[in-house]
Chain A
Amino acid sequence: MTLDVAWAIDWVRRSAATVKEHREELIELDRQIGDGDHGENLNRGFTAVVGKLDALESPPGDVGEVLKLVATTLMSTVGGAAGPLYGTAYLRAAKAAAVPELDANGVVAMLEAALEGIVARGKATTGEKTMVDAWTPATEAAVAAADEGAAPAAVLAAAADAATRGAESTIPLVATKGRASYLGERSAGHLDPGARSTELILHAAAEAAQ
């Protein structure tokens, strides 16, 4: 059982749907500790991605091509810090997934590349109340699941569940990176919006693989 181009397209469409569904929630989370534009920006970005997918004349040749389309579109349309961060994550993931189908190790390589891109761009580490706090446990869980011989869908499910726990772990944290760090101690007690959107997107990936 591997994950192919159809899965990648379904992942993108499910990501767009879940971001749209949670738009208000992301806006509210970001309003509490940021500038309140995360839900709006991400929704605009993924809506544009779906528009580009719909306009394609021929289907992408491999998983990486789908992810590269997401990368370039988010980069151009999201703005703020989330555009470059997600854009780089999808671009690195695209390079790691330039194959027609992903097996479990391929899924791990894709997630690791995405995390690597976010860390390279954002210069953040865990515990700083950023999306890295969701991506890191997600990637570690994917590695562990793949090492135990899990199928790609189960690797993604493990990653998504770990992302949920990782996102929740940001609630008590005091932000030391990103916009929320301007608030210092007052940032504690709020869920980080970037970690929350990461969780949503990884769940979309897992659901598309079911």
Chain B
Amino acid sequence: MSETANRAEVALVLVSHSRDLARGAAELAGQMAPGVLLLPVGGTADGGIGTDFDGVQAAIEQGTADGGSVVVLTDLGSAVLTTESVLEFLDDEVQARVSLADAPFVEGAAAAAVTAHGGAHRKAVLDAAEHAGHTFAPHPDAPPPDAPPKPTTGEQAPLDDGVARAQVTLRNKLGLHARPAAVVARMLAGYDAKVRVNGVNAASVLELMKLGATEGHSLTIEAEGPQAQAARDALVDAVESGFGEL
């Protein structure tokens, strides 16, 4: 088609466990949006059912060549895992131009292709995919649900219900990754207090890590018990010192 001379800015990578399914989705979306580069990656390298790390990587590299951006759609479980892993291996500069959609495979591919065909940017294409049907799983890049949009630092609400509260903003780049999460959990073990951070148990390293909270994220601290204030203050100090990583 003549429109292929005028490629859309966003390419789609369609990752499926099945070669036929990926190709079929690309065929369908391609008919609706001929001006979009559609890169199906289905099945394992030897044609079986599964996902192919190298194939997904090659498709994303092809889609992002020449400064283009990519929205990836996937089908089941390990297609998502494989794609996320490929993203982790990419250079940051390339990674910044790729989005993984939390969207139904066929409907999402069609909606995204149509939007991309209209010349939309990556965010709009992603949005189109993600509003194409029901959401299956939490989006991997979604911020913690209770992260307030405008964080404040060190502001402490008055004590009237026995709960010592504080709100602090993470200052170290990686936020509550494994080491600081372990520091927090170990530190709080020394206090006779129950402490929650953004609603999760601050004594649990895994719960803290699962918040996915990084630099700039606001943490809501709530402490209860005989040493609630001391525990809260210690935690505020640790966060504000960037866990020694500043």
Contacts and interface: CB of A to CB of B under 8 A. Distances in A.
B178 A113 contact: yes
B206 A126 contact: yes
A79 B212 CA distance: 26
Interface of B is mostly: helix
Interface stretch (A8-16, A48-56, A114-122, A152-160): A114-122
B171 interface: no
Interface of A is mostly: helix
Contacts of A140: 205
Contacts, number: 68
Interface stretch (B59-67, B76-84, B103-111, B115-123): B76-84
A179 B81 CA distance: 13
A85 B81 contact: yes
A84 B82 contact: yes
B85 interface: yes
B85 A88 contact: yes
A83 B84 contact: no
Contacts of B44: 79
Nearest to B81: A84
B173 interface: no
A141 interface: no
Given A88-B85, A125-B210, A136-B206, A109 B179 contact: yes
A81 B50 CA distance: 10
A193 interface: no
Contacts of A139: 178
A72 B86 CA distance: 10
A109 B178 CA distance: 9
B54 interface: yes
A54 B44 CA distance: 26
Contacts of A121: 81, 84-85
Given A84-B78, A125-B206, A143 B85 contact: no
A75 interface: yes
Most buried by B among A72, A79, A140: A79
Interface in B72-107: 77-78, 81-82, 84-85, 88-89
Nearest to A71: B89
Contact of B177 (A75, A116, A123, A125): A116
Contacts of A81: 77-78, 81
Contacts of B88: 88, 91
Contact of A84 (B84, B177, B179, B182): B84
Interface in A127-180: 132, 136, 139-140, 143, 179
Given A76-B53, A91-B88, A112-B179, A119 B206 contact: yes
B169 interface: no
A64 interface: no
B85 A79 contact: no
Given A84-B82, A91-B88, A79 B51 contact: yes
A115 B209 CA distance: 10
A80 interface: yes
A83 B53 contact: yes
Most buried by B among A76, A122, A136: A76
Given A81-B77, A113-B178, A116-B209, A87 B51 contact: no
B192 interface: no
A75 B85 contact: yes
Interface string B197-226: 000000001110110100000000000000
Nearest to A88: B85
10 contacts: A76-B53, A79-B44, A79-B50, A79-B78, A81-B81, A84-B78, A109-B179, A112-B182, A119-B210, A136-B205
Interface of B: 44, 50-54, 77-78, 81-82, 84-85, 88-89, 138, 177-179, 182, 186, 205-207, 209-210, 212
> 5 closest A-B pairs (Cβ-Cβ)?
A84-B81, A112-B178, A84-B85, A116-B178, A81-B78
Interface of A: 72, 75-76, 79-81, 83-85, 87-88, 91, 109, 112-113, 115-116, 119-123, 125-126, 132, 136, 139-140, 143, 179
